[in-house]
Amino acid sequence: MPKLTRQEIESHSSNLTNMRISNIMKLVSMAEMEANQAIPASVQNAVAYHAALLTLFYETSPAYDTNVNQDELKPKIYECYKFGEKLIMYLKYTPQAKQMFVEQSILNSKKWRFMMHKGLQNLNYFFRFGQHDPKGIKQALELFKESDRMNKALEVDKNDNQVPGHDK
């Protein structure tokens, strides 16, 4: 068996994590769509949505302990988690639960999902803005060629170094 580098191991591990999170995100999306389109939404809709988010939360909770998320988002995310758990317990064990509590649970889940997504995006989990690092010698050389073209375009003709608006 070939010996793997630390970078190869970390890359493989990240890929497995991303695949696992992606599958959970699909379940969350499906549960959310079902809860949103049900008229009226049922206890089962609220429980399914919360349960999918709970699984996502368990898998991603270390991301909310990072410096970028710790102060602002982490307390709000945990607040939604605790409130959601109380609502779900009430809904599960109170057969005569009012529709208001079902709707409140779904609204809490929407808020919780939004904040978890925001926390993950703060770590560039979903979208990356900007350019990727060049891959391979060809892409790196293209950067130098582009840089040379820009420098040539900005060069002042050595024969005509007159400042506009001033006579020689």
pLDDT in tens, 87-97: 999 999 998 88
Mean pLDDT of the chain: 82
Position 137, amino acid: I
Give domain limits for the chain: 7-121
* Joined tokens for residue 35: 């809860």
Report the distance separating Cα 87 and Cα 41, nearest Å: 15
Q: Please tell me which residue, 22 or 85, carries the higher pLDDT value.
A: 85
Other beta carbons within 10 Å of 28: 22
Give per-residue pLDDT as tens, 112-128. 999 999 998 888 877 66
3-state secondary structure of 72: coil
Residue 47 has pLDDT above 90, yes or no: yes
